[in-house]
Amino acid sequence: MLTVVPGEGPGDEGGRSLIDEIVREGARRMLAGALQAEVGACIAAHAAERDGNGRRLVVRNGSHQPREVLTSAGAVEVTAPRVSDKRTDPATGERKRFSPAILPPWARKTPKITGVLPLLCLHGLSAGDFVPALGQFPGSSAGLPAAVITRLTGQWQAGQRAFAQRDLSGVDYVYLWADGIHVNVRLEEHRLCLLVMIGVRADGREELIALADGYRESAESRADLLRDCARRGMRAPVLAAGDGALGFWGALREVFPESREARCWFRKIADVLAALPKSAHPGAKKALAEIWNAKDKQHALAAARAFGAAYGAKFPKAASKITDDLDQLLAFYDYPAGHWVHLRTTNPIESAFATVRHRSKVTRGPGSPAAGLAMAFKLIEAARDRWRAVNAPRLVALVRAGATFASGKLIERPGDSAQSEAA
């Protein structure tokens, strides 16, 4: 029986608190009771099965050697009951064996702990850091050899390769964002450039389309990625958004010439401000906001003309950054108003890969390009469950069908009087 004896301080020897000991002891007793009940139920279920001498085929046979199992309550010592199972399969003649569902023979960590380990590794802990980092948790150092973390990296690389070869013919991506994410590689002279494409399915959900390593966001690297997606059955997106400096646009025009282009306003604003003196930044930001945050395309065109008139004479380079790409910058106005906030920037990629940049800063980058690619893929895989659908998801399928939108509203009968549905 567990006896609580107050000590001199808040914890006992070894830094283990009294409440942790109580939790672990309670977990040990509950697990032991569950294992005994599972074995008892199995024996009772097969009590009628006997051999030629009338002896039961399934009986208790002592206990296994004690072993520690790492749980969320800490390391718990478990002594599992042993079962003697002499049944045979009538079809094959092979010996049947009792297999416990609660605690399989190979289990040393609960599934919850097993899922935590890769996330800890991805979010900043290297293989050698697990034991000292988790040493404050009683018994947590058990079952965490560096070889386990090394094997995880191999599994992530295999998962990334399978992802890069999957069939895309069964998914329709209506919108597409493209960007390049640079990550330092410790053992390489050049930085790793991750070529990323995220798409919006016809049901409005966001999904990672492709992730590959390339060379300085070159047009050829992008073209290879798009060609590979097309070979695997990807359909041309209706609209593709990205940075104007990417080699992506030349590749898009080659592989999917029917797709429209949209420029990222976040990057464009940074480019414009870089061509202006700091004293002009406050007024320029306000003037640019009048363009990208206008109520419709006509007001945005008027605001763009006003920006050119105000800054074109003194700062022609800054003004040309807007006027030269104006059609692409205002392309999002031709789609549902609920989608505007998503289409005018590549923030879906920036926010998704913030954890990749955080991880590479903590560990000074992955050790190799393959490891960096696998790390990025696993981070996105862990984060995609939190991705939400775009606003007005029901309208995405209409965009694919070629529906017409004016001022962000659906035109049900183009050419007739305006009868629309709010986006």
Residue 323: closest CA among 340, 306, 337, 335: 306
| Same domain (yes/no): 273, 250 | no
Q: Output the six-digit token pair for 46.
A: 């097969």
Average pLDDT, the chain: 79
Listed in sequence order, the residues at least 6 apart from 351 whose beta carbon sits closer than 8 Å to its beta carbon are none
Q: Residue 119 falls within a domain, yes or no?
A: no
Number of domains in the chain: 3
Residue 57: closest CA among 104, 101, 98: 98
Q: What is the pLDDT of residue 134?
A: 53
pLDDT digits (tens, 9 = 90+) for 147-194: 666 676 777 788 889 999 999 999 999 999 998 877 665 445 556 678
Beta strand 81-85 with 58-63: parallel, antiparallel or unpaired?
antiparallel
Q: What is the pLDDT of residue 364?
A: 46
Higher pLDDT, residue 343 or 123 = 343
Residue 342: closest CA among 270, 241, 422, 236: 241
pLDDT value at 68 more than 60? yes
| Same domain (yes/no): 238, 295 | no
Q: What is the pLDDT of residue 183?
A: 67
Q: Residue 22 falls within a domain, yes or no?
A: yes
Higher pLDDT, residue 294 or 53 = 294
Q: What is the pLDDT of residue 420?
A: 46
Buried b (16+ CB within 10 A) or exposed e, 343-374: bbbbbbbbebbebbeebbeebebbebbbbbbb
Q: What is the pLDDT of residue 143?
A: 47
pLDDT digits (tens, 9 = 90+) for 199-221: 999 999 999 999 888 765 577 88
- How would residue 275 be classed by pLDDT, with cut points 50, 70 and 90? very high
- CA angle (57, 63, 68) in 5-degree steps: 135
Q: What is the pLDDT of residue 233?
A: 95
* CA gap 169, 156 in Å, rounded: 24
Q: What is the pLDDT of residue 112?
A: 57
pTM score over 0.75: no
Question: Domain end: 110, 135, 168, which one?
Answer: 110
Residue 355: closest CA among 23, 2, 119, 158: 119
Q: What is the pLDDT of residue 27?
A: 76
Q: Residue 122 falls within a domain, yes or no?
A: no
Ramachandran assignment for 232, one of left (phi > 0), alpha (psi -120 to 50 degrees), beta (any other): alpha
Q: What is the pLDDT of residue 195?
A: 86
Q: Output the six-digit token pair for 260.
A: 């429209």
Residue 380: closest CA among 159, 188, 229: 159
> What's the domain range around 295?
265-339+392-423
Q: What is the pLDDT of residue 42?
A: 86
Residue 185: closest CA among 210, 213, 164, 208: 213
**pLDDT above 90 coverage of the chain, percent:** 37
- How would residue 119 be classed by pLDDT, with cut points 50, 70 and 90? low
Q: Residue 133 falls within a domain, yes or no?
A: no
- How would residue 144 be classed by pLDDT, with cut points 50, 70 and 90? low
* CA gap 90, 351 in Å, rounded: 58
| Same domain (yes/no): 155, 300 | no
Beta strands in 109-230 (DSSP E): 173-183, 192-201, 206-214
- How would residue 136 be classed by pLDDT, with cut points 50, 70 and 90? very low
Ramachandran assignment for 101, one of left (phi > 0), alpha (psi -120 to 50 degrees), beta (any other): alpha
Mean pLDDT of 25-40: 83
pLDDT value at 46 more than 60? yes
| Same domain (yes/no): 256, 288 | no
Q: Residue 327 falls within a domain, yes or no?
A: yes
Q: Residue 132 falls within a domain, yes or no?
A: no
- How would residue 95 be classed by pLDDT, with cut points 50, 70 and 90? confident
| Same domain (yes/no): 203, 274 | no
CATH code of residue 194: 3.30.420.10
Most confident of 83-92, 105-114, 121-130, 133-142: 83-92
Q: Output the six-digit token pair for 270.
A: 């940074």
Question: Domain end: 110, 127, 160, which one?
Answer: 110
Q: Output the six-digit token pair for 33.
A: 């009771």
* CA gap 423, 420 in Å, rounded: 9
Q: Side chain identity at 22, as an amino acid letter?
A: I
* CA gap 394, 383 in Å, rounded: 24
* CA gap 407, 398 in Å, rounded: 16
Can you tell me whether residue 322 is helix, strand or coil? helix
Q: What is the pLDDT of residue 109?
A: 64
| Same domain (yes/no): 323, 377 | no
| Same domain (yes/no): 26, 101 | yes
Q: Side chain identity at 252, as an amino acid letter?
A: L
Burial of 378 (C-beta count, 10 Å sphere; 0-12/13-18/19+): buried
Beta strand 173-183 with 192-201: parallel, antiparallel or unpaired?
antiparallel
Dihedral sign, CA of 390, 396, 397, 400?
A: negative
| Same domain (yes/no): 400, 312 | yes
Q: Residue 295 falls within a domain, yes or no?
A: yes
Q: Output the six-digit token pair for 299.
A: 């007001």
Beta strands in 287-408 (DSSP E): 404-406
pLDDT digits (tens, 9 = 90+) for 332-376: 999 999 999 999 998 878 776 665 555 444 444 455 667 777 777
Q: Can you give the C-alpha Rg of the chain in angstroms?
A: 30
| Same domain (yes/no): 269, 407 | yes
| Same domain (yes/no): 252, 190 | yes
| Same domain (yes/no): 256, 278 | no
Q: Residue 312 falls within a domain, yes or no?
A: yes
| Same domain (yes/no): 380, 397 | no
CB 109 within 8 A of CB 70: yes
Burial of 114 (C-beta count, 10 Å sphere; 0-12/13-18/19+): middle
